[in-house]
Structures are given as C-alpha cells and as structure tokens.
C-alpha cells in the first residue's frame, strides 16, 4: 500500500504488489471467480429505473432540478440508487473476491457491507446541482473506529473532470470528523448533500481520473466530493462502504451528526414507513454480512 495517500487505485495497487499489469482486474480476474464487469450492473440499474424490478429497501433518488410532476421512471431521471442490499444482482458487487481481498486489509476477516450506492451523475442543467460538495463519509455513519471502515468505489466507465470525477484532499484521513451542513449554493442543493464549510482552500486537490472497472479504496475521513458533469452522458459508479463487523455503534445525539441523523431517520420513515428513531437502527437494518461472522454491527 502506498504510504501517505488516503486512496489507492486498485489497478495501480496490483502493480505495487507485483500483481498483474494495470487493467488486470477489469479484464483478467486473478481469482478465477466472478468476472468483473460493470456492464452487468448497468443492465440491472436500467431495469430498476424502468421499474421492471422493485428490490426491497431500494431508494431511487433524483436530482433536485427535476420536479415530481416531470418524473417518469427511466434511467435519465434517477441520479442515484441507494440501499441495494436486497438486490441480488447489484449486491454481487459487494461480494466480489477481487474487491473483498483489499477491503479485508482494512477491516480484517469479519466484513459487513454497510452502505450501497450506484451513482448516475446526470448532465448538469446549468444550475450546478450535479456537484457533490466536499464531505467526509463518516458524517453519515454511527459506527467506529473509522480506520476499520473503507469505501470501494468503482468507475463503470471512463471518468475524468469532464463528467465529474472524484476530487480528494490527500492526507485528510489523518484529521477528525468536521462539522457538515448544506452548502450555500444558488442553484439548489440535493437533500442530504451536506458539505464541510471551512475546509482549507490551500489543500492540494487530486482529481481522480479512472478507467472503466478501476476501483478506489478510501478512508471515511478522507475529504472528497465530485464536480459538475459537463457532458451529455450520465456518469456511473458503483460503491459500497464496508466495515469490520466488530465496529461499535455510537450515539450521535449532541454531536455534529445529530442533524443528518434526523434527516435520515425521517427519510427512512417516508420511504419505508419504518420508525427507526436512530442512525444506529437504520444501519443495523441495512448492514449485511459479506464475510466471516457478524459481531457488533
Ligand atoms: C436509509 C439510509 C439513507 C442513507 C443515506 C446515506 C447518505 C450517503 C451519502 C449520500 O448519498 S447523501 C445524498 C443523497 N441525496 C440524494 O441523492 C438526493 C435525494 N433526494 C431525492 O431524491 C428526493 O428528495 C426524494 C426522492 C428523497 C424525495 O422525493 P419525494 O418524491 O418524496 O419528494 P416530493 O417530490 O414530494 O418533493 C418534496 C420536496 O422535495 C424537493 N425535492 C425533490 N427532489 C429533491 C432533491 N433531490 N433534493 C432536495 N429536494 C428535492 C421537491 O422540490 C419538493 O419541494 P417542495 O416541498 O418545496 O415543493
Ligand atoms: N480505512 C482505510 N481505508 C482506506 N485507506 C486506508 C484506511 N486506513 C488507512 N488507509 C490507507 O492505507 C495506507 C496505510 O495507512 P496508515 O494509517 O499506515 O497511514 P500512512 O499514510 O501510511 O501514514 P503513517 O505514517 O501514519 O503510517 C495509507 O495510504 C492510508 O491512506
Ligand atoms: O459519486 C460521486 O460523485 C461521489 C459520491 C459520494 O461521495 C457519496 O455519495 O458519498
Ligand atoms: Fe462520499
Ligand atoms: Mg502507515
């Protein structure tokens, strides 16, 4: 693992480890198990958007620039699907040996898939709502320690600054969880898109250009976001946040996470009619074991 960087590109990592050359994971899986083909996830995503299948627990998000009356179920209206833990096809992503072998370096052998997303960043309408403000994913999570949590984020196509790649502030995983709130953006902000208000403007920014099938593994304290999608295409990535199953829940009442807790608890009620009452209960309900033994999550 390269030192001093809070993210690692899987293909690059394979080279560091003396493994196959760049692109190897996409084209020639070393494990001989499931072939890594983002295309299969895209086909299922499109079926979900057309409402041909309705997996339990799934949330379909749309960009704030699209009104409810304009909404028709199709791939162009859905900016993100969250919570695909009950969709066999998409959840296969979270069980891929090629992914888990790196996840295990951070979590150890008992691994939970805690948060799942397929992000379909829409072409920006001009209001800049396709941006994702700079944030730390730990803001959404009520479990610790943060070092035993890792996000795997896989590009389903070529991603660069033109279609809104990830932008990261290297080294920020050594810091603490910062307060988050809605950014003051004129064109509107998507629900729950909290950002860090007072980040260091002089921090080095790294724009993570990725090829189809590339995966980055990053720490939940790493400050990151993504820019506007200036192309006509919908930029796709699939991701899962994994955690060691012996992580412990914390109570976020009285902390900077209290506001997001309320938003998520309210949304969970609106979508599923579930009275969870706390972030802890939301994640106890969503989390799925993918390897080893379920302990405290
Ligand atoms: C259960 C666990 C959840 C875990 C969350 C972990 C977070 C991980 C990191 C993130 O992904 S954070 C960002 C996630 N946010 C999004 O992707 C945007 C989500 N928001 C939406 O897609 C819609 O707001 C939503 C589908 C949830 C609500 O749609 P509804 O059909 O229930 O709302 P409706 O159409 O009745 O509109 C209600 C109001 O919301 C507004 N609205 C619509 N889409 C919106 C949107 N995207 N963001 C904000 N507001 C939105 C809409 O204009 C309207 O405003 P008014 O009341 O003033 O008329
Ligand atoms: N939970 C995590 N998720 C993703 N990457 C992580 C995680 N924990 C550590 N890393 C990354 O793994 C590598 C080794 O981590 P480590 O904590 O040893 O940091 P380091 O950058 O090597 O600094 P140090 O000098 O403190 O060892 C670093 O690149 C770090 O960014
Ligand atoms: O895909 C992106 O643009 C970034 C998404 C992200 O960071 C998140 O949802 O937490
Ligand atoms: Fe994030
Ligand atoms: Mg180290």
Q: How far is the CA of 18 from the centre of ligand 3 (A)?
A: 30
Q: What is the pLDDT of residues 23-71, one digit of tens each?
A: 223 322 333 344 567 889 999 999 999 999 999 889 998 877 777 777 7
Q: Give me the residue spans of the domains in the chain.
A: 7-291
Reply yes or no on whether the pLDDT at 217 is more than 50: yes
Q: Which of 141, 260, 135, 255 is nearest to 195 (CA)?
A: 135
Q: What is the pLDDT of residues 97-120, one digit of tens each?
A: 999 999 999 999 999 999 999 999
Q: Is the peptide bond before 285 cis (omega within 30 degrees of 0)?
A: no
Please provide residue 208's backbone torsions phi and psi, each rounded to the nearest 5 degrees. -95, 95
* Closest atom of ligand 2 relative to the 148 alpha carbon: 1
**CA dist 261 to 119, 147, 272, 297, Å?**
22, 21, 16, 17
Q: Tell me which CATH code domain 7-291 carries.
A: 2.60.120.620
3-state secondary structure of 150: strand
Among 114, 133, 161, 166, which residue has the most ligand 3 atoms within 8 Å of its CB, making it the best to mutate? 166
Q: What is the pLDDT of residues 271-282, one digit of tens each?
A: 888 899 999 999
**Is the ipTM, as predicted for this complex, more than 0.90?**
no
Q: How far is the CA of 213 from the centre of ligand 3 (A)?
A: 17
3-state secondary structure of 270: helix
Other CB atoms closer than 10 Å to residue 26's CB: what's the count? 21
Taking the alpha carbons at both ends of the chain, their separation in whole angstroms is 27
Max CA pair span of the chain: 54
3-state secondary structure of 182: coil
Name beta bridge partners: 208.
166
Which residue has its alpha carbon closest to ligand 3 atom 2? 226
Q: How many residues can be counted in the chain?
A: 297
């Amino acid at each position: 693992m390269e030192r001093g960087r809070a993210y690692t590109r899987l293909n690059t990592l394979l080279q560091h480890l003396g493994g196959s050359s760049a692109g190897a994971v996409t084209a020639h899986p070393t494990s001989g198990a499931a072939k890594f083909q983002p295309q299969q996830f895209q086909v299922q995503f499109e079926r979900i958007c057309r409402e041909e299948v309705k997996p339990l627990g799934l949330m379909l998000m749309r960009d704030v620039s699209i009104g409810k009356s304009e909404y028709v179920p199709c791939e162009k209206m859905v900016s993100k699907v969250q919570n695909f833990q009950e969709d066999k096809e998409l959840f296969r992503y979270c069980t891929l040996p090629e992914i888990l072998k790196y996840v295990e370096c951070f979590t150890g052998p008992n691994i939970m898939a805690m948060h799942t997303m397929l992000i379909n960043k829409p072409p920006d309408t001009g209001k800049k709502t396709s941006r994702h403000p700079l944030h730390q994913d730990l803001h959404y999570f009520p479990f610790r320690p943060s070092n035993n949590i890792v996000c795997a984020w896989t590009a389903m196509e070529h991603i660069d600054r033109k279609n809104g790649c990830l932008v990261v502030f290297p080294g920020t995983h050594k810091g603490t969880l910062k307060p988050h709130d809605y950014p003051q953006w004129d064109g509107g902000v998507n629900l729950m898109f909290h950002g860090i208000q007072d980040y260091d403007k002089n921090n080095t920014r790294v724009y993570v250009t990725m090829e189809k099938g590339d995966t980055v593994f990053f720490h939940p304290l790493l400050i990151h976001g993504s820019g506007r999608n200036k192309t006509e295409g919908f930029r796709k990535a699939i991701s899962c946040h994994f955690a060691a199953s012996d992580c412990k829940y914390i109570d976020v009442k009285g902390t900077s996470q209290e506001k997001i807790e309320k938003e998520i608890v309210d949304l969970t009620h609106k979508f599923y009619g579930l009275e969870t009452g706390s972030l802890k209960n939301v994640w106890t309900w969503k989390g799925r074991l993918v390897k080893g033994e379920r302990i405290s999550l």
